[in-house]
Amino acid sequence: MPRSSWSRLKGFCRNRVDSFSTISPPAPGRFDVVVTDQNMPEMGGLDLARAIAALRSDLPVVLISGNRLSTDDELAAANIQYHLDKPFTGASLGLVLAQALRRS
């Protein structure tokens, strides 16, 4: 992903409360993709993805994990189509984001 594309990022959330207040109420077009870590305080990435799917099932979610404990079926059930294992490169993140954005 070219560096100039990063300037279009619309926001970052550092916790569950920020995440929900940012996407709720659903605002179509406000966000194109969500990138979340599996291990977070208060709520894990799978639970966050499920909550996001309840608000906007069309919003692609990229799950990042350093310790993948979920099966592909569990990821699909949480509406997660994209997964990145840590460590990852900026190039691999860019490819996954490009795939997610093409699909959305």
| CATH code for position 79 | 3.40.50.2300
pLDDT at 30: 72
The answer for residues whose C-beta is within 8 angstroms of residue 73's C-beta and 6 or more apart is none
Mean pLDDT for 24-47 is 78
Band (pLDDT 50/70/90 cuts) for residue 45 is confident
Identify the domain containing residue 80 by its residue range.
Answer: 3-103
Q: Is the peptide bond before 25 cis (omega within 30 degrees of 0)?
A: yes
Read off the pLDDT of each residue in 49-67 and give the average, rounded to a whole number.
Answer: 89
Rounded-to-integer distance, Cα 26 and Cα 37, Å: 21
How many alpha carbons fall within 13 Å on the CB side of residue 91?
A: 0
**What average pLDDT does range 47-63 have in this prediction?**
89
Total count of domains within the chain = 1
- pLDDT tens-digit map of 61-87: 999 998 877 888 999 999 999 999 999
Identity of the residue numbered 50 = R
